Amino acid sequence: MTVTLPDGTKLDLPAGATGADAAGAIGEGLLRAALAVKWDGEVHDLSAPLPDGVALEIITQRSGQDALDLVRHDTAHVLAAAMLELYPGVKISIGPAIDDGFYYDFEFPEGVTFTDADFPAVEKKMKEHVKADEAFLREDVTTAEALERFKGEDQPYKVELIEDLIANTGVETVSLYTNGPFTDLCRGPHAPSTKRIGAFKLQSVAGAYWRGDSNRTQLTRVYGTAFFDKKELAAHLELLEEAKKRDHRKLGRELGLYHFSEAAPGSAFWTPAGTTVFNQLVELSREMGDTRGYAEVKTPQLFDAELWKKSGHWDKYQEDMFLTQTGDDRPMGFKPMNCPGHFELYGLTKWSYKDLPVRFSEPGLLHRNELSGALHGLMRVRHFCQDDAHLFVTEDQLLDEITACIAFARDTYALFGFTDEDIKYELSTRPENRLGTDEFWDQAEGILADALKANGIAYEIGEGGGAFYAPKIDFHFTDSLKRSWQLGTVQLDYQAPERFDLTYTGADNAEHRPVVLHRALMGSYERFIGILLEHTAGELPFWLTPVQAIVLPIADRHADAAREAAATLKAAGLRVEVDERTESVGRKIRDAELRKVPYMLVVGDREAEDGTVAVRRHREGDEGSEPVADVAARLADVSASRSA
């Protein structure tokens, strides 16, 4: 048999050769470093037999996320092994690797309360398993054997998982992995042994309902992370500490931007300062959309159930919607997205090919029935507003319009200092639960791929990440703490025009179907503000910050001159305050620094007499004295250009 290595080299191996055989054939050093192998986009154990003719990659600790996922999955199993030893009778459920680490869910025996104070004892036991260099051994057994085993061990969650596999897929065998005394139901893959785990840390404890169902048992979820060496772990933990300082929920309180209340769970109460930030973003969307041919519309909040059935949301998305009914028992639903309202609006007008493309935008208020446990500050809310748009275009216009959407996204992100190096493009493809035929998805995914290639954009594939009605291009941003966030999206939809019977009259006087592009660039304004706060540590761009300058009179006798200076800045279009408290100017400066006000303008005797202000910039200190009019003109230019 023959496999192809990443550099194109052909490697001949005996029939039935494994990943370990391939690594050994290349060199003993690689065999010692090898963790797993990868082909056809999937990672497999080193012990897995290789198919003939595949393109093969040997996974080592230098293989990025694939390697980290392995070591973190390994560590989750080690955590479960330690828990079983320390807490006899504990029930284990699932323990996957996640973006920054891993977790495992447990049901502890009655009377046992597990907290982070228990971490040292668990970590000590885990280190024993790592030091023991326990091999991860895979065994494929019949479902009957697996059921018998886990019933005998009194592990009901494993039993339920196996029974569901049998019922839903008809599988006859499952795989088990054993490390030391612990055996788990697991698809794998795993590294060869526990000793490949270089460094780990348990981080937090949370509650989690079994299978996300609030009617089921609440389990204890233990989060942790793992790396190949202590230096990497230390660097990661340092970033986490910085992330705590930058938590947008903390910054939102400190900067006085918004609050949350149980009077409206999952919905922000915006203060005047926060509303200023919010409105600046909405205004940015409007300005940039207006020059690009977008027309703002306004559609209702509440729609008849028939509209949601027509769009497909009633079947595919109903559990995430807030539902109600009219006095005559007519079922209604609050909109979780703007799309169906825009489709209905388009359908209420007769359009010609000369009118297309039609570009509707709407900063529409949306509601989604998120689980209480999923709510997270501005990042996951029930009430929010999107910079949403829908484009109705002809087939011939598709490539140009997708290209224009990508350019619009790049121009928008640049205003916040996000460069192309910060943005990753992902083509998100068909999910399992979807509308439409495979032919439709092939066509739509192909068009989006062609648009990315035509614009010279390198992209990754997000398998199964598309919306239930359409594939999409997603824009991912890497922030200052090296975390990835999805921001905007462009979705190509052939389903909606069919379901809503949308048409336009062509040059041949016949009726034709438009194609719909769904486009959002910031996503929800709430979430975008949360991301910005954490990325900038609360130091928003000058043009966006709620108070751009604060005038600080040194004494009461300077108050009139300070007010006059503030009036000059306001007349130039700047957002400015005067701090007239009877505090020392040093205290006023300190408080303005804590509020992260970009400019502090001090007025004393000389400034009051000369019509100047002593300019002090946040975190940078004194910049000297300038005439008030010059400061106003300079800062107004910076604000208007959104250049800082």
Output the 3-class SS for 89-154: CCEECCCCEECCEEEEEEECCCCCCCCHHHHHHHHHHHHHHHHCCCECEEEEEEHHHHHHHHHHCC
3-state SS class at 581: coil
Predicted local distance difference test score (pLDDT) of residue 414: 93
Which residues are designated catalytic? 339, 368, 386, 388, 390, 472, 518
Q: What is the DSSP letter of 559?
A: H
Structure token digits, residue 601:
């303008």
Neighbours of 203 (CB within 10 A): 17
3-state SS class at 490: strand
Report whether 405 belongs to an annotated binding site: no
Predicted local distance difference test score (pLDDT) of residue 312: 85
CA 11/CA 2 separation, integer angstroms = 5
Predicted local distance difference test score (pLDDT) of residue 644: 63
Nearest to 320 by CA among 357, 274, 259, 371: 371
Predicted local distance difference test score (pLDDT) of residue 587: 96
CA 546/CA 540 separation, integer angstroms = 9
CB of 492 closer than 8 Å to CB of 444: yes
Report whether 518 belongs to an annotated binding site: yes
Report whether 390 belongs to an annotated binding site: yes
Predicted local distance difference test score (pLDDT) of residue 26: 92
Structure token digits, residue 580:
């007239």
Which positions of the chain have pLDDT values less than 50?
none
Structure token digits, residue 456:
């010279």
CA 644/CA 304 separation, integer angstroms = 45
CA 434/CA 373 separation, integer angstroms = 26
Distances (CA, A) of 95 to 74, 80, 92, 186, 187: 10, 8, 9, 9, 12
3-state SS class at 512: strand
Q: Which residues contact 123 (CB under 8 A, 6 or more apart)?
A: 200, 201, 202
Distances (CA, A) of 226 to 310, 389, 493: 47, 41, 41
Predicted local distance difference test score (pLDDT) of residue 237: 92
Q: Report cis status (omega within 30 of 0) of the bond before 357.
A: yes
CA 60/CA 66 separation, integer angstroms = 9
CA 158/CA 164 separation, integer angstroms = 10
The DSSP string of 179-228 is ETTEEEE------SBGGG--EEEEEEEEEEEGGG-TTSPEEEEEEEEEES
Residue with tokens 């493009």, as numbered in its chain: 425
CA 424/CA 523 separation, integer angstroms = 16
